[in-house]
Every structure is written in C-alpha cells, then in structure tokens.
Amino acid sequence: MSEFLEMGSHGFYVWTSYAIFFAVLAWQVCQPVARHRRLRAQLIEEQALRKGNYEDEAR
C-alpha cells in the first residue's frame, strides 16, 4: 500500500494534482449554485420593492 501511495517517488506530485483537480471541480460546482442563490435573492428583493411589500429589517 505504501508503494501505491508513493507512486515510485512521484506520489507528492500525483496526490497534489488530484487535490488541486478536486478543489477546482468543487469550485466549478459551488460557484454557479451560489450565484444562482444570490441572483434569486436579488430578484425577490426587487420584486418586493416594486410591489411595496418590502419591510425594513432594521426596525
């Protein structure tokens, strides 16, 4: 098992590459989801302002 993880002395490069790949993959999934939520919240707020149903949270 240790040989597999070391990958013939290239283990650090290989596992670092995998880590970077999965980090970028996670970013590619999370970023659009976060943007969608943010845009949806902005649209809901704009609609409420236009209808006059907006309540100030500072009260």
Q: Where are the domains of the chain?
A: 25-59
Q: Can you give the pLDDT at residue 55?
A: 66
Structure token pair of residue 29: 């999934």
Provide the residue-wise pLDDT of the chain in tens; the chain has 59 residues.
888 777 888 888 999 999 999 999 999 999 999 999 999 999 999 998 888 876 665 54
Contacts of residue 54, Cβ cutoff 8 Å, sequence gap at least 6: 45, 48
Q: Can you give the pLDDT at residue 43?
A: 94
Q: Can you give the pLDDT at residue 38?
A: 96
Q: Can you give the pLDDT at residue 24?
A: 98
Q: Can you give the pLDDT at residue 25?
A: 97
